[in-house]
């Protein structure tokens, strides 16, 4: 689909500097822009590229004034970041939407498929499953017995949803996601072997959740593992059994949450964070990369390090840690001097 500068400016309430009939059909970065693409300048350090970019149209803030000649058409707007988001959403909505149910899919007669759904090749949908209207289930997915999926949810190739799990409306599950595998529960025997503890619960994922590729969410031993409304999880994340993640919390790649822990709402958890079992993390908590959380964290706190410390304490400790080599050298010198004095 093509858009003219005049159409884009009208949509964004912007001002055109250049050709109002300039046409674009895709979006690009400003340093990689090509003819027919729309680029944007959000960071001043990339300003140099606006003078060399091949992009046909570039969005800039109202205050931007070029220091030399610009060959591309500019559209000045109040907030470039917000406008880019609006355009990306519009462009994504204009893309063709897959429809229809493949003859190569295996769908139980006891499953219910809503209206205007897409089901791809070699997908299996078991008995009792309920798929809401407008869902898109790509090839080679598995939807187990009595699974419920809400309206408008998109499930990419290779996703596996075990029996009895519930997925809300307008969710996105990327390739390789596994929902409802058994939690890691084993009881030691006297002979040193382990007995498997049956995992009889399920997973509940509320509306507007996005799960990155190869993320795994284990079913509960009893009751439910719960991912609340609006949660966004990156690729390669492990959520253990009976965990609860609060609404609108964000986690970066390779986070691991051990069983029965609870993470509050509106938290930010950076990459490779590990959370021990039976830990409670409050609301609006921020946790730095590679931190290890083995104790409860209160609302609004910041944690860094392993074991994790409060933010200010961590930075003070790290400042001392960086000086340890010099401090050790000074200590050795003092020991030498003291030895001479004693002699």
One domain, residues 80 and 112? no
φ, ψ for residue 180 (rounded to 5)? 95, 15
One domain, residues 322 and 268? no
**Mean pLDDT to the nearest integer, 52-77:** 93
Q: Which residues contact 250 (CB under 8 A, 6 or more apart)?
A: 231, 232, 233, 267, 268, 269
One domain, residues 212 and 82? no
- pLDDT tens-digit readout, 241-275: 999 999 999 999 999 999 999 999 999 999 999 99
pLDDT at 101: 96
**Mean pLDDT to the nearest integer, 2-23:** 93
- Block residue for tokens 């220091």: 67
CATH label of the domain that carries residue 32: 3.40.1390.10
Q: Which of 54, 73, 94 is where one domain is finished?
A: 94
- pLDDT tens-digit readout, 165-193: 999 999 999 999 999 999 999 999 999 99
Domain count, the chain: 3
One domain, residues 276 and 155? yes
pLDDT at 246: 98
Which two tokens mark 202? 């399920």
One domain, residues 267 and 121? yes
One domain, residues 325 and 309? no
**Mean pLDDT to the nearest integer, 328-338:** 84
One domain, residues 131 and 81? no
- pLDDT tens-digit readout, 79-128: 999 998 888 787 777 778 888 999 999 999 999 999 999 999 999 999 99
One domain, residues 196 and 256? yes
Please say if the pLDDT value at position 341 is more than 90.
no
- For residues 336 and 24, the model is more confident at 24
Confidence of residue 226 (pLDDT cuts 50, 70, 90): very high
Cβ pair 50, 41 in contact under 8 A: yes
pLDDT at 73: 95
Q: Which of 44, 78, 94 is where one domain is finished?
A: 94
Which of 112, 174, 241, 315 is an active site residue? Answer: 241
Active site residue 241: yes
One domain, residues 289 and 220? yes
Considering the chain, what is the average pLDDT of its residues? 93
One domain, residues 191 and 228? yes
pLDDT at 182: 97
pLDDT at 97: 84
- For residues 309 and 28, the model is more confident at 28
- pLDDT tens-digit readout, 119-151: 999 999 999 999 999 999 999 999 999 999 999
Which residue range forms the structural domain that includes residue 10? 3-94
- Block residue for tokens 């190569």: 104
CATH label of the domain that carries residue 242: 2.160.10.10
Cβ pair 261, 239 in contact under 8 A: no
One domain, residues 114 and 254? yes
pLDDT at 54: 93
Q: Which of 62, 94, 126 is where one domain is finished?
A: 94
Please say if the pLDDT value at position 282 is more than 90.
yes
Instruction: Give the integer Cα–Cα distance in Å for 254 and 272.
Output: 5
> Mapping DSSP to helix (H, G, I), strand (E, B) and coil, where does residue 127 land?
coil
Which two tokens mark 265? 């709402």
One domain, residues 24 and 40? yes
Highest mean pLDDT among 10-14, 144-148, 302-306, 317-321: 144-148
Instruction: Give the integer Cα–Cα distance in Å for 190 and 45.
Output: 64
pLDDT at 336: 84
Confidence of residue 315 (pLDDT cuts 50, 70, 90): confident
CB atoms closer than 10 angstroms to residue 334 = 10
């Amino acid at each position: 689909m093509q858009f003219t500068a005049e159409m884009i400016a009208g949509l964004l309430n912007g001002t055109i500097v250049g050709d109002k009939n300039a046409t674009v059909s895709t979006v690009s970065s400003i340093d990689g822009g090509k003819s027919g693409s729309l680029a944007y300048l959000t960071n001043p350090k990339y300003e140099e590229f606006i003078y060399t970019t091949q992009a046909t149209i570039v969005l800039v803030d109202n205050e931007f004034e070029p220091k030399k000649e610009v060959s591309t058409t500019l559209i000045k707007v109040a907030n470039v970041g917000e406008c880019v988001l609006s355009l990306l959403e519009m462009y994504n909505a204009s893309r063709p939407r897959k429809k229809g149910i493949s003859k190569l899919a295996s769908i139980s007669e006891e499953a219910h498929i809503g209206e205007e759904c897409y089901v791809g090749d070699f997908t299996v949908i078991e008995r009792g499953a309920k798929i809401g209207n407008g869902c898109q289930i790509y090839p080679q997915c598995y939807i187990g017995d009595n699974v419920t999926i809400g309206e408008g949810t998109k499930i990419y190739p290779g996703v596996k949803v075990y029996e009895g799990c519930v997925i809300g409306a307008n969710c996105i599950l990327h390739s390789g996601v596994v929902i409802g595998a058994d939690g890691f529960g084993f009881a030691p025997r006297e002979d040193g072997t382990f007995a498997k503890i049956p995992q009889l619960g399920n997973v509940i994922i509320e509306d507007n959740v996005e799960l990155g590729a190869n993320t795994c969410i284990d079913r509960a031993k009893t009751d439910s593992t719960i991912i609340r409304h609006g949660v966004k999880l990156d690729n390669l994340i492990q959520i253990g059994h009976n965990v609860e993640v609060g609404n609108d919390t964000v986690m970066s790649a390779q986070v691991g949450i051990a069983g029965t822990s609870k993470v509050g709402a509106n938290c930010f958890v950076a990459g490779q964070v590990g959370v021990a079992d039976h830990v409670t993390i409050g609301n609006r908590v921020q946790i730095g990369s590679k931190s290890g959380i083995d104790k409860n964290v209160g609302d609004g706190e910041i944690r860094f390090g392993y074991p994790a410390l409060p933010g200010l304490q961590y930075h003070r400790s790290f400042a001392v840690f960086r000086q340890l080599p010099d401090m050790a050298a000074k200590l050795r010198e003092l020991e030498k001097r003291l030895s001479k004095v004693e002699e």
